[in-house]
Structure 1
């Protein structure tokens, strides 16, 4: 496969803020019904060295790549009950900038709204006394953001995405809980892939499902402060341009550290993470997230 085409295709995938449905500490805890919340998030990531099949690529112009993204994400959610089972739904809209630099500075940046995500979760099992929860969630991302097929970078993917996730949480000892979640993401086709697919005219981009496993401890210091750590393993997601398979399976390990503070005016959370190991694509060297959530 042509290396330049492989790199260009990897660039196309960068607008995705998160390749999986990352959970914050206690997201698996069933919500009380009749509550509405608004959440504002700031996400800052940086990607550098490009890898192909586990080997760093240094050929020009990819000797010193740098791709920074900044996003503000607004989410509104409401909780309720379905036949006495806890449930929640939300709508999420991102706005952000993707800025290539270093040896990729010749590519134009992209700024604008991203794609809207709709989600609903339900808890078939929730024992608040024993702190044991099992939840199921479904997500749908709709291509409503800005997209220009003549640009490599876009804040929209110009395709539908759907995801099914299941998660379980229970105590380990005293104030220490453990969680595990698995989700699989499916991708619709993008029939207008031109610049990112190194095509003079629009061609089709298709992608295999992507599966993520995340797990880790959650420690409640007191009523106000909670800490968490998560390990992620992401696999799958190989792509096809036209009828040509690109042999670019995602095989990534990463971590995310979280700190949550609960105050009368709302919840503030800080998260930091990065890739630990990557097989294909640009390695993420920093993921910084600040969130504020309030009830209304």
Structure 2
């Protein structure tokens, strides 16, 4: 790998800390994800995401000099089972990301591509409110992210993070009249230590990060909907061997989505997103997501 050009101490430490492509999926949520299905329902979901970025911004939001780019193709397999526990609906599930990163550059320096499996995620939602008659649902989802994904301490980008993560997410869905609904999802993430960060022998620590997602959906009929969304992520401070890297990652993103039923038991979904107001990371020019869900 070519030597990175000098871009300031904070930027150099951010690069030394490494980066991941699949971590952003850990607590993502689409409209309708917090609508409970009947107990006994099983869901199999397959996601595909293509991301493209040509700008890297420092922790102040300034564009870093030199040509930067990032391309990723990430897939996710997700299995969900709905059940009843003490009168409440729950949905234990497992999420496994996989994919590749290629055509990457940072401040003019080329970075070798990377492919493999991301860190598996185990979670379950507990619905405290499940009221279809009033079109109202509220659930809480604890996540455990297990550090089993592909990780090479000598690489800048990895599919795995080599650290445990815990996420607590809550989601609320409210129907608005005959055709509209609103989804609000918020979460907080706690990070374990990566003892192979930086040069491969340094300890990377990170404070909590927070995310909020809003979706407003128009239900065209009983089979299809269009949605507009906005998300914001505020990342926690990172330290490498006790030295503040200067990273305070923030990403604001707008989203548009279309979903429709395909047959009696399947749904197809496509979404387009663009990053806004990025600090401490790549600014995606666009992000294209596809999802196929099948119930059985």
- Paired residues of 2:23 and 2:161 also in contact (CA < 8 A): no
Q: Deviations over 1:250-284 (max 9, x none)?
A: 22211121111112251111011011111222112
Partners of 2:126 and 2:11 in 1: how far apart?
A: 44
- Paired residues of 2:14 and 2:247 also in contact (CA < 8 A): no
Partners of 2:243 and 2:75 in 1: how far apart?
A: 35
Q: Deviations over 1:225-267 (max 9, x none)?
A: 1111211121132210001012211222111211111122511
- Paired residues of 2:88 and 2:128 also in contact (CA < 8 A): yes
- Paired residues of 1:25 and 1:227 also in contact (CA < 8 A): no
- Paired residues of 1:20 and 1:183 also in contact (CA < 8 A): no
Which stretches of structure 1, 4 residues or longer, exceed 6 Å deviation after superposition? none
C-alpha displacement at 1:172, in angstroms?
A: 2.3
Structure 1: which 5+ residue stretches go unaligned? none
Q: 1:182 to 1:247 in 2, by over 3 A?
A: same
| 1:8 matches 2:11 | no
Q: Deviations over 1:110-162 (max 9, x none)?
A: 11111111110011111110101111111111111111111112111111111
C-alpha displacement at 1:204, in angstroms?
A: 0.3
- Paired residues of 1:239 and 1:247 also in contact (CA < 8 A): yes
* Counterparts of residues 219-230 of structure 1 (less than 5 Å): 219-230=218-229
C-alpha displacement at 1:16, in angstroms?
A: 3.1
| 1:142 matches 2:146 | yes
Q: 1:20 to 1:285 in 2, by over 3 A?
A: farther
* Counterparts of residues 59-70 of structure 1 (less than 5 Å): 63-70=66-73
C-alpha displacement at 1:20, in angstroms?
A: 5.8
TM-score (ref. length: structure 1): 0.91
Partners of 1:284 and 1:242 in 2: how far apart?
A: 30
| 1:282 matches 2:285 | no
RMSD: 1.7
- Paired residues of 2:190 and 2:207 also in contact (CA < 8 A): yes
Partners of 2:114 and 2:136 in 1: how far apart?
A: 43
* Counterparts of residues 21-36 of structure 1 (less than 5 Å): 21-36=27-42
Q: 1:217 to 1:79 in 2, by over 3 A?
A: same
Question: 3-state DSSP class of the match of 1:45?
Answer: strand
C-alpha displacement at 1:30, in angstroms?
A: 1.5
Question: 3-state DSSP class of the match of 1:55?
Answer: coil
Structure 2: which 5+ residue stretches go unaligned? 1-7
Partners of 2:108 and 2:30 in 1: how far apart?
A: 33
TM-score (ref. length: structure 2): 0.91
Number of residue pairs matched? Answer: 286
Given the alignment, which residue of 91, 94, 98 partners 1:91? 94
